[in-house]
Amino acid sequence: MSRRNEAPEETAASRPWERNIRRVTPYVPGEQPQGGRLIKLNTNENPYPPSPGVCKALRGLDPGALRRYPDPAASALLKALAGYYALEPEQVFVGVGSDDVLGMAFLTFFNSDRPMLFPDVTYSFYPVWAELFGIPYETCPLNADLAVDPRDYDRANGGVVFPNPNAPTGCFLPLGQVEEILRHNRDVVVIVDEAYIDFGGESAVSLLGRYENLLVVQTFSKSRSMAGMRIGYALGSPALIRAMQDVKYSYNSYTMNLPSILAGEAAVKDEEYFKETVGKIIETRENAKKRLAALGFTFPDSKANFLFIRHSRVRAAELYDALRARQIYVRHFSGPRVEDYLRVTIGTDEEMEALYGFLEEYLGAG
């Protein structure tokens, strides 16, 4: 058969336009397994449903309203958050999950020739954004206890960001040490990423009145059971929020959809349910510390909705595969300092009992 009329195979050399494609190493999200007969403890989702107020708001949504663009300012949600934190609406920014908010903050505030700083073991999106936006950065090693050392951030830099509690370790930096970082970095923006703050830490929101360069970022994905709605927000001085709004409106003005705005407003108002479910997770987490320690696991003292565990006898990769074969999903990170650990999200008591039962069986056989 003749191949004379077929186009020659293209190569990178024959496609000069490829030289202008931005090359990045992307963030790798946690696996989202499908099916009903599994235990999903790998992406730090809340095991309980959203509040009844959220469900009521979604049921009451007029479908006809979806033909119009949503409020670009998400005013209803913004005002609810401002009231909740006793702030002015001008001190609140909302976005499509805290990833959207953090990415917008990186783009807005980290434009110095000096490197921005963040921990070496932390949320793995930070270096992705830095590389995507061409931001120079340096990492500060966690100490021997896998905790942030404020002294590492007492040097010239172009900005600071760190999660509190940290991810994936779960370690919480006390408010006094957060303020120590702020005192030594008054000339740059300091972002405290509080995705897990509701599970046991003290928020840096109380410091906003003293530090105009502080931005606190939180999310509805964890403590408010709304990862599927993609709602995140930042709290800061009006000058910081205004700068972020300017960048947002220069990029995409309609970032949040109407159902998310309405559901988010309802979630903020349903305080009793919020406290109830967060309390359940904290209680289950503290019990998990006892049960896992009895099985020979060690871990930092987490104040998040997950534990970062390791075992002296069984490699993390081996245990990850064994759990996955039983349809129990946890998170395993490769790389220095973390490859021996598994991150285990706190599920319901029933889910955790299934985890303990498997581990007792597996470790007893080992």
Q: Are residues 175 and 282 in the same domain?
A: no
Query: Does the residue 8 lie in any domain?
Result: no
Mean pLDDT, residues 128-157: 96
Measure the CA–CA gap between 107 and 8, rounded to whole angstroms: 42
Q: Are residues 104 and 243 in the same domain?
A: yes
pTM (2 decimals)?
0.92
Q: Is residue 50 a contact partner of residue 260, using CB atoms and an 8 Å limit?
A: no
The pLDDT mean for the chain works out to: 93
| pLDDT the model gives residue 365 | 53
Give yes or no for residue 9 having a pLDDT over 60: no
Q: Is residue 273 a contact partner of residue 51, using CB atoms and an 8 Å limit?
A: yes
Could you tell me where the beta strands, DSSP code E, fall in 15-148? Answer: 39-40, 92-95, 116-119, 137-140
Query: Does the residue 87 lie in any domain?
Result: yes
| pLDDT the model gives residue 1 | 44
Mean pLDDT, residues 286-311: 97
Number of domains in the chain: 2
| Confidence label for 3 from pLDDT (cuts 50, 70 and 90) | very low
What whole-number percentage of the chain has pLDDT above 70?
Answer: 95
CA separation, residue 334 to residues 162, 311, 340 (Å): 20, 16, 8
Q: Are residues 194 and 330 in the same domain?
A: no
Last residue of a domain, one of 246, 269, 292: 269
Query: Does the residue 209 lie in any domain?
Result: yes
Last residue of a domain, one of 235, 269, 303: 269
Q: Are residues 103 and 192 in the same domain?
A: yes
| pLDDT the model gives residue 6 | 52
**Token pair in block for residue 213:** 């360069």
Q: Are residues 110 and 249 in the same domain?
A: yes
Mean pLDDT, residues 266-285: 97
Measure the CA–CA gap between 229 and 327, rounded to whole angstroms: 26
Q: Are residues 75 and 175 in the same domain?
A: yes
Mean pLDDT, residues 21-41: 81
Q: Are residues 287 and 201 in the same domain?
A: no
CA separation, residue 106 to residues 86, 135, 158 (Å): 26, 8, 11
Q: Are residues 43 and 86 in the same domain?
A: no
Q: Is residue 164 a contact partner of residue 178, using CB atoms and an 8 Å limit?
A: yes
H or E element: which one contains 267?
helix 258-269
Q: Are residues 244 and 343 in the same domain?
A: no
| Confidence label for 2 from pLDDT (cuts 50, 70 and 90) | very low
Measure the CA–CA gap between 277 and 50, rounded to whole angstroms: 9
Q: Is residue 288 a contact partner of residue 346, using CB atoms and an 8 Å limit?
A: yes
Q: 3-state class of 329 per DSSP?
A: strand
| pLDDT the model gives residue 270 | 94
338-355 residue pLDDT tens: 999 999 999 999 999 999
Q: Are residues 144 and 227 in the same domain?
A: yes
Helices 97-109/125-132 angle, 10° precision: 40
DSSP string for 181-249: HHHT-TTS-EEEE-TTGGGT---GGGGTTT-TTEEEEEESSSTTS-GGG--EEEEE-HHHHHHHHHHHH
| pLDDT the model gives residue 250 | 93
Last residue of a domain, one of 269, 299, 324: 269
**Token pair in block for residue 38:** 């599994």
| pLDDT the model gives residue 37 | 81
Q: Are residues 177 and 292 in the same domain?
A: no
| Confidence label for 28 from pLDDT (cuts 50, 70 and 90) | confident
Q: Are residues 191 and 218 in the same domain?
A: yes
307-321 residue pLDDT tens: 999 999 999 999 999
> What residues contact 134, with CB distance under 8 A and at least 6 apart?
none
Domain that includes residue 95, residue range: 52-58+68-269
- Let me know if 88 is exposed, middle or buried by CB neighbors in 10 A (0-12, 13-18, 19+): exposed
Q: 3-state class of 310 per DSSP?
A: strand
